[in-house]
């Protein structure tokens, strides 16, 4: 037949060269950075291995350090009750859920955790996923599609961004924490969208400032969007009893359409959750790919997170201590002339230092003095807005905070005096 003949007459396809990982621009960038830091004699501040559970203090290379690089905001990672419950749960269920909850992975500890989260928030229902990152990807891509519009803060976390991209929805961003700009975007965006979602963070992870919930709700009444709040850095932090952004502003938590959070920070476990209405949770459990087609949260992690929430509820002094420490850090840093950017002084206080090289060197200088604080550099933030990011915990002592702020100001002044930075260095 004709098909077979034309196939016979076709010349063999030209051999296609396989792409090389070494040629990827990302690889070249990493190698350039490594080369530059070797030339300049600057140690890599990333992947420092901690030889203990990292909280207000940690151990690196056998040295005990003051630590400002842990998300264990309320010091629950080694809490006796959390550990005991985790051990019991391992005894009963082993480590893994071994399957999607839909098939053979459901355990009573999953439902207990979801009921606890819903109860803690004061909403109807919750569902948990195996990581915070996956929670954003799975939930956003499930709820939104190509006919929809997502408008998000320009500094939203990478996981939310990934979810929006996967959803195929039209994506617009608004200026950081600027509700007037959000309104401008909503007013001027062209197109007849099926649904609109607005995504913000309770406390922003890079800057430590707080979303303006009342203004967002006012806007929602007019534009009819779903409001999604990522509480990765505000659960257990904002509000007198740590219930987050709604408590901070005295707003009924049911007013917010989609609460999202991670179990890896305040609740010292691993996983993520969505909390809200019964219908929202039913939809996600039935059709979010990252829930349906992924293993259930490890039972031990579910039990640990539940116990952490119980302790947090019983001991609001932890939240109070964290807030006291955050406010003290911010106050001292400002008094020392440090640039803390937009931070409101709760869980996250950045100290802006200029370019990436300065941030890396400052981190290394502090390490030499016994303080572990990590730099955030380009491309995570624009070059010139590099910073050291200090995560405050309830376990930090006043002395640790004072010492850290003093050292940071001294070391930074030293770098400035030496005119240390990217300027003039050709890399
Ligand atoms: N959202 C925000 C704002 C975050 O900062 C993070 C992690 N740092 C995540 C989501 C993802 O959470 P997880 O690390 O638990 O995957």
Assigned domain for 374 exists: yes
The answer to whether residues 275 and 299 belong to one domain is yes
Helices (H) and strands (E) in the chain, counts: 15, 13
Q: How many residues does the chain have?
A: 427
| Three-class SS state of 228 | strand
Q: Is the pLDDT of residue 424 over 50?
A: no
Pocket test for ligand 1, best of 205, 211, 262, 267 (most atoms within 8 A of CB): 262
Tokens linked to 296 = 């259930």
C-alpha 253/C-alpha 244 separation (Å) is 9
Average pLDDT over residues 145-167: 97
State the first-to-last Cα distance of the chain, in angstroms, to the nearest integer: 63
pLDDT over 70 for what percent of the chain?
Answer: 97
Distance CA 258, CA 18 (A): 44
* Ligand 1 atom having least distance to the Cα of 156: 3
DSSP 8-state code for residue 131: -
Q: Which residue in the block uniquely carries the two structure tokens 């001292």?
A: 332
The neighbouring-strand residues paired with 275 are 126, 259
**End position of a domain, from candidates 286, 314, 342:** 314
Share of the chain above pLDDT 90, in %: 89
Residue 203 lies in a domain: yes
Domain of 102?
80-314
6 lies in some domain: no
Residue 122 and residue 143 in one domain: yes
Q: Which residues lie below 8 Å from residue 334, measured CB to CB, with a gap of 6+?
A: 340
**Where does a domain end: 314, 330, 362?**
314
Regarding whether 192 and 93 lie in a shared domain, the answer is yes
Three-state secondary-structure class, residue 154: coil
State residue 5's pLDDT score.
Answer: 63
Same-domain pairing of 362 and 350: yes
| pLDDT (mean) for 356-366 | 95
Answer whether residue 3 shows pLDDT above 70.
no
Same domain? 189 vs 89: yes
136 found inside a domain? yes
Query: Does 161 share its domain with 84?
Result: yes
Q: Which residue's entry shows tokens 């990436």?
A: 356
In the sheet with 170-174, reading across from the earlier edge strand, the strands are 125-129, 272-276, 258-262, 226-230, 196-201, 149-153, 170-174
Q: How far apart are CA 176 and CA 199, in angstroms?
A: 12
Cα 12 to middle of ligand 1, angstroms: 50
Same structural domain for residues 272 and 185? yes
Single residue among 263, 293, 314 that ends a domain in this structure: 314
Residues 123 and 251 in one domain: yes
Neighbours of 133 (CB within 10 A): 20
Q: Say yes or no: 56 and 103 in one domain.
A: no
Contact of 354 with 420, CB cutoff 8 Å: no
The answer to whether 309 and 116 are in contact (CB under 8 A) is yes
Kindly state whether residues 321 and 246 are assigned to the same domain: no
Among 373, 330, 366, 308, which residue's Cα sits nearest to residue 54?
Answer: 373
Give 178's contacts (C-beta < 8 A, 6+ positions apart).
none
Q: Indicate the average pLDDT of the chain.
A: 95
Distance 102 CA to ligand 1 centre (A): 25
DSSP-assigned letters across all residues of 306-323:
HHHHHHHHH-THHHHHHH
23-33: average pLDDT: 92
Q: Among 121, 393, 54, which Cα is nearest to 275's? A: 121
The Å distance, Cα 263 to ligand 1 centre, comes to 9
Total domain count, the chain: 2
ipTM of the complex: 0.99
201 domain residue, yes or no: yes
Examine residue 30 and state whether it is found in any structural domain, yes or no: no
User: Roughly what angle, to the nearest 10 degrees, separates helices 299-314 and 108-121?
Assistant: 30
Residue 10 falls inside a structural domain: no
Question: Is beta strand 258-262 parallel, antiparallel or unpaired with respect to 272-276?
Answer: antiparallel
CA-CA-CA-CA dihedral for 302, 303, 305, 307, to nearest 10: 160
Cα angle 359, 362, 364; round to 5: 110
CB 391 within 8 A of CB 71: yes
Q: What was the pLDDT predicted at 6?
A: 62
Nearest CA to ligand 1 atom 13: 132
Mutational pocket test of ligand 1: of 69, 140, 158, 159, the residue with most ligand atoms within 8 Å of the beta carbon:
159
Say yes or no: CB of residue 272 within 6 Å of ligand 1.
yes
**Does residue 157's CB lie within 6 angstroms of at least one atom of ligand 1?**
yes
CATH code of the domain covering residue 328: 3.90.1150.10
Same-domain pairing of 306 and 325: no
Distance CA 201, CA 157 (A): 8
Residue 329 lies in a domain: yes
Q: Indicate if ligand 1 lies below 6 Å from the C-beta of 159.
A: yes
Q: How does pLDDT run across 385-411, given as a tens digit for each residue?
A: 999 999 999 999 999 999 999 999 999
- For residue 62, is pLDDT > 50? yes
Are residues 225 and 310 located together in one domain of the fold? yes
């Amino acid at each position: 037949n004709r098909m077979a003949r034309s196939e016979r007459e076709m010349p063999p396809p030209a051999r296609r060269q396989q792409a090389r990982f070494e040629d990827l621009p990302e690889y070249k960038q990493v190698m350039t950075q490594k080369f530059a830091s070797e030339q300049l004699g600057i140690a890599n501040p990333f992947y420092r291995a901690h030889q203990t559970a990292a909280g207000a203090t940690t151990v690196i290379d056998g040295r005990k350090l003051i630590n400002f690089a842990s998300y264990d905001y309320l010091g629950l990672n080694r809490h006796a009750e959390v550990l005991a419950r985790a051990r019991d749960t391992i005894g009963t269920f082993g480590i893994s859920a071994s399957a999607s909850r839909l098939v053979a992975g459901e355990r009573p500890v999953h439902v207990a955790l979801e009921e606890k989260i819903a109860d803690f928030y004061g909403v109807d229902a919750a569902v948990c996923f195996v990581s915070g990152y996956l929670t954003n990807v799975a939930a956003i891509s499930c709820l939104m599609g190509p006919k929809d519009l997502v408008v998000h803060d320009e500094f939203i976390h990478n996981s939310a961004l990934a979810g929006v991209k996967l959803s195929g929805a039209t994506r617009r961003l608004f200026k950081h924490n600027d509700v007037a700009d959000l309104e401008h975007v909503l007013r001027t965006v062209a197109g007849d969208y099926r649904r609109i979602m607005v995504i913000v963070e309770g406390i922003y992870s890079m800057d430590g400032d707080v979303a303006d919930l009342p203004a967002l709700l006012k806007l929602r009444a007019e534009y009819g969007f779903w409001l999604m709040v990522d509480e990765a850095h505000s659960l257990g932090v904002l509000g007198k009893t740590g219930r987050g952004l709604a408590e901070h502003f005295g707003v009924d938590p049911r007013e917010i359409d989609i609460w999202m959070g991670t179990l890896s920070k305040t609740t010292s476990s691993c996983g993520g959750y969505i909390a809200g209405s019964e219908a929202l949770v039913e939809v996600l459990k039935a059709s979010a790919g990252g829930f349906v087609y992924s293993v259930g949260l490890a039972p031990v992690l579910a039990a640990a997170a539940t116990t952490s929430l119980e302790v947090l509820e019983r001991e609001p002094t932890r939240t109070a201590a964290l807030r006291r420490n955050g406010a003290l850090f911010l106050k001292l840093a400002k008094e020392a002339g440090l640039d803390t950017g937009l931070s409101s002084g709760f869980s996250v206080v950045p100290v802006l230092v200029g370019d990436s090289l300065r941030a890396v060197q400052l981190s290394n200088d502090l390490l030499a003095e016994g303080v572990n604080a990590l730099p955030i550099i380009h491309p995570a933030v624009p070059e010139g807005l590099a910073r050291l990011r200090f995560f405050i915990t309830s376990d930090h002592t006043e002395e640790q905070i004072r010492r850290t702020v003093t050292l940071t100001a001294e070391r930074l002044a030293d770098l400035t005096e030496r005119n240390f930075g990217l300027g003039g260095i050709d890399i």
